[in-house]
Amino acid sequence: MPTRPTIVIDSYGGVDSPLRALRVAADLSLTRRVQIVLVGHAPVLHAHLATLSYDPANLRLVGTSIDYPPHTGDHLAEHRVLHRTLPLCLSLLEQGEGDALVTAASESVVWQVVTERCQRIRADIAPAMAAVIPTLARSSSDDPFALVLDVSGNSSANARQLRSWAALGGAYSRVVSGVRRPEVALLSTGRDQDQGPQSVTQAYRALQTHTDIQFVGNIQAVDIPRGLADVVVCDGFTGNAVRGVLEGVTQLTVEAARYAWRSKFAWRAGLRLLSSGVGMLKQVSEFQRYGGAPILGLQQLVFVTQPDASQLALENGVRLAAKCVDRELLQALELALEQVPKEPS
């Protein structure tokens, strides 16, 4: 009998903890495709679970004695709790009680805890956080999203790191998005080989010899939504800024549509007529809520959704995690990194 992926959900993260995570866990338990392990404060979880539809055959609650932080916007209190609970979730993965972790906790805390605690696939290769960005249609793939990594906010990356992240991103795109030979680009200030910082020009030369991926050279930030590459590689600080700008622009567009919807009946009627187009906008604008951002390069699979992510986003994060487990992403990442030469000691 084939085994189902077991996904650990951390109920401490996110603005509506633990109710959103609990609802997602209960809903997904009814599908039978995945085994859910929900980690949270025992009395609260158990009391709320009884009010939801769920299937105990597919849902396990792992109770802790740690109470939820108050929803007062006190980030310090929240971070203190997360620094205690995330290691508990990770320990379940280490003990083989789960295959992947999905959390809506603050990205910076998750990054800190995960990179401290989890072992890397290869000790000399740093992990990277990836995010999806919607693009125009690409010739290489039906997937409407491109993968950008690293978006962790870390300020620097050398050529070796960029090269290894290209390998990780390529493997992810191949396994998860189903792109046979992913087009990988480096993010730079121009398309020429010599443009950009030294790390980028060095990585450019190294990636030209890579056979698993199709290196398409440098692209600019404006080219990401145009769909010029399946995977875009940059340092964490740049990636974080690029993602923030794109999310801001999308939010602005959606708010404009909402303003039109609220303001005048005639505009609302117009939007009704354009409903299929607006529907596409809705689909694309919710990209950051679809699934989660995977952290690649570690021996554990960890996915981070936004703290204010909708229930659908968190659900999709779990589905994405299950897909990665099913398609043996970790093994694919290990294999991809074999192409990256070891750092001379």
Partner 1 sequence: MNATKSAPVAYRWDLDKTYVQTDFHTPRGLWRAATEGAADKRVVPGMRTLLRLLSERKEASIIVVSGSPTLLRSKIESMFELHKVRCDRLVLKDFGARLVRLRSLRAQVPYKLAAHLQTRLWLSEQSGTPAEYCFGDDAEVDALIYCLYTDALSRRVDATMLRDFLDHCGAYPDEIRSILEALSVLPRQDPVRRIFIHLDGRSPPSRFDAYQGRVTPTFNALQVALCLHEEGVLDASAVTSVAAALVTDFRIDALGLLGSLEDAMRRRLVQLHTAEPLLDSFGADSSIRQAGWSARFASRSLARLRSAYVIEPVLDPNRPLAYHELFDDERSFATARRMARNAAKRVPGLGDFLSGESR
As measured in angstroms, the least distance from the Cβ of 279 to partner 1 is: 6
Judged by CB under 8 A, does residue 19 bind partner 1? no
CA–chain centroid gap for 211, Å, is 26
Comparison of 61 and 147: residue with beta carbon closer to partner 1: 61
Judged by CB under 8 A, does residue 30 bind partner 1? yes
As measured in angstroms, the least distance from the Cβ of 173 to partner 1 is: 29
Comparison of 61 and 233: residue with beta carbon closer to partner 1: 61
Are 297 and 121 spatial neighbours (Cβ–Cβ below 8 Å)? Answer: yes
Judged by CB under 8 A, does residue 84 bind partner 1? no
Task: Out of 19, 33, 63, 122, point to the residue binding partner 1 (CB under 8 A).
Answer: 63
Are 174 and 332 spatial neighbours (Cβ–Cβ below 8 Å)? Answer: yes
Comparison of 73 and 344: residue with beta carbon closer to partner 1: 73
As measured in angstroms, the least distance from the Cβ of 4 to partner 1 is: 7
Task: Out of 75, 205, 258, 342, point to the residue binding partner 1 (CB under 8 A).
Answer: 258
With 0-12 / 13-18 / 19 or more C-beta atoms within 10 angstroms meaning exposed / middle / buried, residue 41 is buried
C-alpha 55/C-alpha 61 separation (Å) is 12
CA of 290: how far to CAs of 171, 248, 276, 312, in Å? 20, 16, 19, 7
Task: Out of 42, 136, 249, 256, point to the residue binding partner 1 (CB under 8 A).
Answer: 42
Judged by CB under 8 A, does residue 71 bind partner 1? no
Between helices 19-29 and 311-326, what is the axis angle to 10°? 50
Judged by CB under 8 A, does residue 50 bind partner 1? yes
As measured in angstroms, the least distance from the Cβ of 56 to partner 1 is: 3
Judged by CB under 8 A, does residue 271 bind partner 1? yes
Are 327 and 115 spatial neighbours (Cβ–Cβ below 8 Å)? Answer: no
C-alpha 301/C-alpha 93 separation (Å) is 9
Comparison of 53 and 139: residue with beta carbon closer to partner 1: 53
Judged by CB under 8 A, does residue 201 bind partner 1? no
> Which residues 286-345 are close enough to bind partner 1 by CB under 8 A?
308, 310
Task: Out of 60, 163, 174, 319, point to the residue binding partner 1 (CB under 8 A).
Answer: 60
Closest CA to 321 of 3, 2, 4: 4
- Structure-block tokens of residue 169: 């991103």
C-alpha 78/C-alpha 65 separation (Å) is 15
Q: Which amino acid would we find at residue 97?
A: E
Are 42 and 18 spatial neighbours (Cβ–Cβ below 8 Å)? Answer: no
Cα maximum dimension of the chain: 69
C-alpha 205/C-alpha 203 separation (Å) is 5
As measured in angstroms, the least distance from the Cβ of 342 to partner 1 is: 36
As measured in angstroms, the least distance from the Cβ of 152 to partner 1 is: 25
As measured in angstroms, the least distance from the Cβ of 50 to partner 1 is: 4
Alpha helix positions (H), 173-212: 198-207
Can you give the binding site for partner 1, defined by CB under 8 A? 1, 3-4, 6, 30, 35, 42-43, 46-47, 50-61, 63, 257-258, 261-262, 271, 275, 278-279, 282, 308, 310
